[in-house]
Amino acid sequence: MPGPPSLQIHRSASRSKPCKYCRTINSHSLPPAPDMKTQPISNYLLQIFINNEWHTSIKGKKFPTINPATGVKICDVEEADKADVDEAVRAARAAGQRGSEWRQMDASSRGRLLHRLADLLERERAVLATLESMDTGKPFLHAFFVDLDGSIKTLRYYAGWTDKIHGKTMPVDENFVCFTKHEPVGVCGAIIPWNFPLLMFMWKIAPALACGNTVVIKPAEQTPLTALHTGALIKEAGFPPGVVNIVPGFGPTAGAAIGSHMNIDKVAFTGSTEVGQLIKAAAAKSNLKRVTLELGGKNPCIVFADSDLQSAVEETQKGAFFNQGQACTAASRVYVEEAVYDEFLRLSVERAKNIAIGDPLEPRTSHGPQINQHQFDKILELVASGKKEGATLECGGCAVEDRGLFIHPTIFSDVKDHMRIAKEEIFGPVQCIMKFKTQEEVIDRANGTQYGLTAAVFTRDIHRAMSVSAALEAGTVWVNCYNALHAQAPFGGYKMSGNGRELGEYALAEYTEVKAITLKLSERLTL
């Protein structure tokens, strides 16, 4: 049995005192091609992070994390369970109690800490992108340019908000004075998925910390490594102990403990709609903790005949195949107007066949493996259902030979709305292309789903762009673009795609309690 593969780290000669947790690399311009030879990942970073310290699990259990590109185990990680979550909550509660360092800190100083964390992420950018690529199978360059960029920008964006979370004063009747304070909710539980581990980590902790909360966060069991590495950076940045606690573990144990914990005031979850329902039920059964959910999607793209067809083909395809289709925003239902349907299909298939599949760490690769066997099997099962239900398989539809968890980018045409591939979230590289005739018809069909996360419309007509985007039941509508996510813009789902919004100013509302303070005066104030 070979030892765990590990990271070759380029040490910066200019750094005189290397931190024991962190490795410095040159992260200017293009990242250095990582070389997987020596230096194991520090043992510290494979443990539970509570109170700015590294802990083994109380039960003494560990779980392996696997490189999906090779099927080889990367390392074992300490497995947090209910007892560890209890410890983490105790730490978070102490860190957030009245009079604590964190609660007494100037809001602008919280912003400074978030900025420092962003700086550290930037310093460790290549290391984190490598870890992310190894642990998820996503192409290294995507990890470096998309995940890391988004993570850093999210931190910087919320760093700026800390001292701008304004309450109001209200002109109440009679001899009263009323003002509001937007206070932190308290201990926030966060449960994040394996498709964008680091980015989702930042979407959760950045607004939570900006508002002054403390956090207990559980990374997905498939992808705990970047979250744990970030723990070391949180400590280095100077966050007080207990402000962020990281509990790697499984959903039914650690995740459920968070969902039903009596001392957690809010839970934010990103993952499947099925588990989202469990979380909300657990929150209700325990202490009515506040809940925000970012769940699944079956997102429609509507391509009108007057659109820039080439661009529509590219954007919808990136929308469908980005991150191997493992995105809640995946553009998995593409409705194309009849007049351009054949041409759109031809261009899409041609393009899909040219996608470079390969080793995620190889810079030319744009398509890696699925995350694990379970997901792989589920995708191929859905592909089989598509064929059986009468959709035309245009390309792909099978695994890459001798390459473990890789699946060829797959396109189905002649897809009907009742087929399973048109209704269920596939979470794999499968694009379903449908035909439509009228605007009214396509709006009805696009909205005919339990989901409502994102949608897109491709047209040059301003009226159509505006009226279709107004009619779509989705938290985000992209016009002539796809996956155009920004830290400044809110993101979240209608219907069963979620509750609440992340990002933008809106997310601050999810991490604050509003307190109205009313003073009775002896006489009425002059206006």
Active site residues: 294
Report, in Å, the least distance between residue 115 CB and another protein: 7
Answer whether 365's CB lies under 8 Å from 359's CB.
yes
Of 112 and 423, nearer to another protein (C-beta) is: 112
Question: Does 515 contact another protein by CB under 8 A?
Answer: no
Question: Does 148 contact another protein by CB under 8 A?
Answer: no
Interface positions, 328-387, toward another protein (CB under 8 A): none
Residues binding another protein: number (CB under 8 A)? 31
Question: Does 288 contact another protein by CB under 8 A?
Answer: no
Q: Are strands 187-191 and 176-184 parallel, antiparallel or unpaired?
A: unpaired
Answer whether 498's CB lies under 8 Å from 293's CB.
yes
Q: DSSP characters for 101-159?
A: HHHHS-HHHHHHHHHHHHHHHHHTHHHHHHHHHHHH---HHHIIIIIHHHHHHHHHHHH
Q: Return the residue of 11, 164, 285, 387 that touches another protein, per CB under 8 A.
A: 164
For residue 56, count CB atoms less than 10 angstroms from its CB and return exposed for 0-12, middle for 13-18, buried for 19 or more: middle
181: helix, coil or strand?
A: strand
Measure the CA–CA gap between 482 and 51, rounded to whole angstroms: 40
Measure the CA–CA gap between 367 and 137, rounded to whole angstroms: 9
Report, in Å, the least distance between residue 522 CB and another protein: 4
Per-residue DSSP letter, 253: I
In 132-209 the beta strands, taken as DSSP E runs, fall at 169-170, 176-184, 187-191
Report, in Å, the least distance between residue 249 CB and another protein: 35
Answer whether 453's CB lies under 8 Å from 472's CB.
no
Q: Residues 456-495 vs another protein: string with x where CB under 8 A?
A: ------xx--xx--xx---------------xx-------
Question: Does 523 contact another protein by CB under 8 A?
Answer: yes
Question: Does 28 contact another protein by CB under 8 A?
Answer: no
Interface positions, 172-231, toward another protein (CB under 8 A): 177
Q: Residues 89-118 vs another protein: string with x where CB under 8 A?
A: ------------------xx--xx--x---
Report, in Å, the least distance between residue 444 CB and another protein: 15
Nearest one of 326, 315, 482 to 407, comparing CA atoms: 326
Measure the CA–CA gap between 482 and 317, rounded to whole angstroms: 9
Report, in Å, the least distance between residue 219 CB and another protein: 27
Residues near another protein (CB under 8 A): 107-108, 111-112, 115, 153, 156-157, 159-164, 166, 177, 462-463, 466-467, 470-471, 487-488, 505, 519, 521-523, 525-526
